[in-house]
Amino acid sequence: MMEFKIDIKIFLIALVFLLVNQIYMYILFMTFAIIHECFHLLAGIILGYKVKSVRIMPLGLSIAFNEKEEEYNTKIRNSNFNNVKKIIILLMGPISNIVIAFFFMLLNMAIPVYINVLIAIFNLLPIYPLDGGQILNRVIRIFYGNFEAYKISNSVNNIIMSILTALASIGLLYTKNIAIIFIIIFLWYLIIKENKKYKEISKYFKSFHKLDKKSNYNI
């Protein structure tokens, strides 16, 4: 059965945007962010995945799919094909925003164009678990395997996030846009979670590697 949750932080952020008279922008942003996620959802269903959970987050939806139940060896053989399918699913969100932006550009409506381009660029940042970060992770998995994918993704996460924080600080001085603060805080929250996750995965792979080396002895 599909799980549905609402992150209560969404109400806090909505209240802040209301207090600074930017609630209209937040509603527009959330609307197009939800459309973005619905295209992920549609692509996943078309490619044969079942929805595990849907969660309303401060910056849109978070959708998780159930992995297909396959025999272990079959799953290993199909891993690259599954990674390609996941990449297609991930690309559909930003593509939807680019199409919507083009539509509103024809109507000469600047704000929806700006928001959709922003969502597309934001999601294509190579920061895990944003779409761009997940695409990078899946591409590396295809060529170098899971552990290298996590290792490289984690390094890219921290480098890109440090650069973004510096640029956002400069942008905040010029634009006085409070949304920049929330976006950077949200991204750092994701980065910290992924850093903890990477440490756990790294420990697992190292212990597995040691065990594998011990088992490879000559008779």
Number of Cβ atoms within 10 Å of the Cβ of 181: 13
CB contact burial 61-94 (16+ within 10 A = b; e otherwise): bebebeeeeeeeeeeeeeeeebbebbbebbbbbb
Residue with tokens 């984690």: 154
Virtual torsion, Cα 126, 174, 172, 165, nearest 10 deg: 40
The sheet carrying 60-66 orders its strands as: 3-6, 50-57, 60-66
Report whether 55 contacts 33 (CB < 8 A): no
Q: Coil, strand or helix: which one is 128?
A: coil
Find out whether 58 and 16 touch, Cβ atoms under 8 Å: no
Q: Look at residue 23 in the predicted model and tell me its pLDDT.
A: 82
Angle of helix 9-19 relative to helix 178-215, nearest 10 degrees, comes to 150
Q: What is residue 62's DSSP assignment?
A: E
**Location of structure tokens 């952020």:** 13
From first to last of its 219 residues, the chain has per-residue pLDDT tens of: 677 777 777 777 778 778 878 788 888 888 898 899 889 989 998 988 888 888 777 666 677 787 665 544 555 556 788 889 999 999 999 999 999 999 999 999 999 999 999 899 988 988 887 899 889 999 998 888 887 888 888 888 889 888 888 888 887 777 776 677 777 887 888 888 888 887 887 777 666 555 444 444 443
The predicted pLDDT at position 208 comes to 57
To the question of pTM greater than 0.85 for the whole model, the response is no
Strand 50-57 with 3-6, pairing = parallel
